[in-house]
Amino acid sequence: MEHSLGYNLGMLMAVLVGALVGVGIVALLFKLKVMDLTFDERQERARGQAYKYGFWTLMTCLLLYGFSDMVLGRWCDVLTGVMLCVAAALIVFGSVCIVKDAYLSLKEKPRTIMTLLTVIALLNLSIGAMNLKNGRVVKDGVLTYGAVNGICGVLMLTILVVYVVNYLLAKREAGE
C-alpha cells in the first residue's frame, strides 16, 4: 500500500506537531512544579535497575518483532510494531519503579500523577476507540499505525493500575 508524497509529508507534520505539543506539555509541567525529578540515592539505584530491565525488555521485544515479521510475514506496520516493543519496555520500567518506590520524585504528589495518567490514558483510549470504529486499526489483515493511540492508552492504563494497586497496598501496610 503506497501513499502519496503529500500524505507522507502530512503524516510527518502530524508526528512533529504531536512531539512539539508533548514537549510543551512536559515543559509546562516542570514550570508548574507538577514534575520535579529530585530523587534520593535509593531511588536512583532502583531507577537504574528499572532502566536495565526496561532496556532488556525492549531488546527482546524488538528481536521477537523482527523474527515474527520474518516468520509470519507483515502482520503490522513498522511504527506499530516498534510502539508495541516500546510500550512493553515502558510497562516493565514503570512497574519496577513503582514497586521499588522510585516512580515519583521526592516532591511529586501521587494524586497529581494519578490524575495525569488517567487523563492521558482516557484521551489515548478514546482516540484508539475512534480509530477502531472507523476501521483504521486493521487494514488488509495488517495492524496499522491507527492502533498506536490504543497501545499508548493501554500502556498508561497499565501503569496507572500498577501505581494505584501499589499505592493502596502501601497505604494499607502503613495503617497496620
| 147 neighbors 131 (Cβ within 8 angstroms) | yes
CA–CA separation, 23 and 5 (whole Å):
27
Position 27 pLDDT exceeds 90: no
pLDDT band at residue 99 under the 50/70/90 scheme? very high
CA–CA separation, 59 and 66 (whole Å):
11
Position 1 pLDDT exceeds 60: no
- Average pLDDT over every residue of 109-123: 87
Position 51 pLDDT exceeds 60: yes
Concatenating the DSSP letter of every residue in 111-176 gives HHHHHHHHHHHHHHHHHHHHHHHTT-SEETTEE-GGGHHHHHHHHHHHHHHHHHHHHHHHHHHHH-
Instruction: Tell me the average pLDDT of the chain.
Output: 89
pTM score: 0.81
Highest mean pLDDT among 85-89, 110-114, 115-119: 85-89
- Average pLDDT over every residue of 132-144: 94
pLDDT given at position 132? 95
